[in-house]
Amino acid sequence: MDRVLIESLAVETVIGVYDWERTITQRLLLDLELATDIRPAATGDDISLTLDYAAISERVTRFASDHDFALVETFSERLAETLRDEFAIPWLRLTVRKPGAVPAAAAVGVRIERGTRPEET
Ligand SMILES: Nc1nc2c(c(=O)[nH]1)N=C([C@H](O)[C@@H](O)CO)CN2
């Protein structure tokens, strides 16, 4: 199955388990792979027939500013659910990185896959 990609999308959100993290926003970096068949859009050269990566990026940014979670796990799960519901995405892979959370690491975070890959049905 084809994928629409969004890579290293930077968003600001309140995220973290420690008291000091509840009073600030921090940057998360997101990678998304969104399964879709791109051929109908390509045939008609029609954005309405594909997943609009600009619209989805805007939705992710708004989700981040509207929510406040302790764990990157919760952020990821809730975001995946929101995107799949609102954009009818059959399968996605979402990577959420929290740069600087562990100073000795370039980034830490989670990667999840949700839904069913269309070719697996
Ligand atoms: N698996 C996780 N481990 C940790 C998380 C998390 O969200 N998921 N969060 C923290 C702290 O908020 C940390 O990022 C602060 O530097 C620790 N471990």
Report yes or no on 120 lying in a domain.
no
Which of 13-17, 39-43, 77-81, 117-121 has the least mean pLDDT?
A: 117-121
CA separation, residue 97 to residues 33, 50, 91 (Å): 15, 26, 20
- From CA 15, how far away is CA 110, in angstroms rounded? 14
Average pLDDT over residues 91-113: 97
Q: What are 38-93's pLDDT values in tens digits?
A: 999 999 999 999 999 999 999 999 999 999 999 999 999 999 999 999 999 999 99
Beta bridge partners of 95: 31, 111
pLDDT at 39: 98
Element of type H or E holding 26: strand 26-35
Q: What are 18-32's pLDDT values in tens digits?
A: 999 999 999 999 999
Tell me how many domains the chain contains. Answer: 1
Q: What residue owns the CA closest to ligand 1's atom 17?
A: 17
Q: How many CB atoms lie within 10 A of CB 84?
A: 16
What is the residue range of 93's domain? 2-115
Report yes or no on 121 lying in a domain.
no
- Of the listed 80, 91, 98, 109, which one is catalytic? 98
pTM of the model: 0.96
Q: Which residue has the tokens 């859009």?
A: 41
Report yes or no on 87 lying in a domain.
yes
Report yes or no on 40 lying in a domain.
yes
- Active site (annotated) includes residue 98: yes
Report yes or no on 83 lying in a domain.
yes
Report yes or no on 32 lying in a domain.
yes
Report yes or no on 24 lying in a domain.
yes
pLDDT at 120: 61
What CATH number is attached to the domain comprising 29? 3.30.1130.10
Give yes or no for residue 121 having a pLDDT over 90. Answer: no
| Atom of ligand 1 at shortest range from CA of 74 | 7
Q: Report CA 106 to chain centroid distance, whole Å.
A: 19
| HSE value, Cβ hemisphere, 13 Å, CA-based, for 78 | 13
